[in-house]
Amino acid sequence: MPESANRSRFRDLDFGLIGFYLVCAAVLTFIMLPVFVVFFYSFFGSAVGGLGSPTLEFYEGAISNNLDAIILSIQIAVITVIVDIIIGVPAAYTLVRYDFPFKRLAMELTILPMAIPGIVIGVAIVRSWGAPRFGIDIGGTVEIIIIGHILFTIPFVIQVTMATLESVNYRRLEESARSLGAGWLRTFLYVIVPNIYNGIIAGAIMAFALSLGEFNISFFVYTPQNTTLPIALFGGFRTATVGEASALASIFILLIVGLLLIVQLISDEGVKLGGNV
């Protein structure tokens, strides 16, 4: 009907709707503006503060001067994520699956590091592990940075894993597997883990990105020999050229965006594991 078609086209031009689009566009601009500015300066920045001609030299400088920091940050993030998964996934399963005294309290404790400011964790880590304790002396080492990062990121892995467990109705899966003759370990490895694999990977990538960008805790425990990428970036903005610091920031953003794309891909595609005829 032409009349109703006209009416619906008229509704599309509704001023309220246009208002919503405008708000949405403003928010997106607000989010993206700093990113664009950093990208812009990474190509056009100049040593004296004005604008230069487009160049890739800042990227060369950023990479060659900070290669150690980039590699160290990636190494720390990888180890952090591996430890997060090895202890976080069984912890999440235990918290969701079993009843025990103070279960609620235990669940809330796992969120605590998310809620406590990183700077507070940083101070606490230095107080706890900065000096030798129980015969363990890790002050000023990479290990202490990793401990801080695990503390900061593991709540995310635990939270995502718990949510995924609930969403796949793990209890029915587990009961089916056990009725079919699988003990708890085979049930966990062949059925539970593969069915929550997407959640684990999503949590892991989130933890990886958080570790890569972690500044507050690292700032308290790093040494000049153990400088991570965010610390280098902080130093860069104070000492290096605008262009080089912007290039380093851009590399950072690209790393994170790449990781987010992988998360997206995994949640869209799904992954199949554990099957065997």
Which residues contribute to the site for another protein (CB under 8 A)? Answer: 168-169, 172-173, 175-183, 186-187, 190-191, 194-195, 197, 272-277
Cβ 110 vs Cβ 155: under 8 Å: yes
Rounded to a whole number of angstroms, the minimum distance from the CB of residue 189 to another protein is 11
Tell me the CA end-to-end span of the chain in Å, nearest whole number: 56
Q: Which is nearer to another protein, 192 or 251 (CB)?
A: 192
Min CB(134)–another protein separation in Å: 39
Task: For residue 161, give the nearest of 211, 119, 195, 131 by alpha carbon.
Answer: 195
The smaller minimum CB distance to another protein, of residues 1 and 185, is found at 185
Least Å distance, CB 99 to another protein, is 11
Minimum Å gap between C-beta 261 and another protein is 23
CA nearest neighbour of 45 among 29, 32, 64, 61: 61
**8-state DSSP, 47:** T
Which CB atom, from 123 or from 163, has the smaller least distance to another protein?
Answer: 163
The rounded distance, in Å, linking the Cα atoms of 11 and 2 is 14
Return the number of the residue (55 or 178) whose C-beta is nearest another protein: 178
Q: Which of 212, 242, 241 is nearest to 228 (CA)?
A: 212
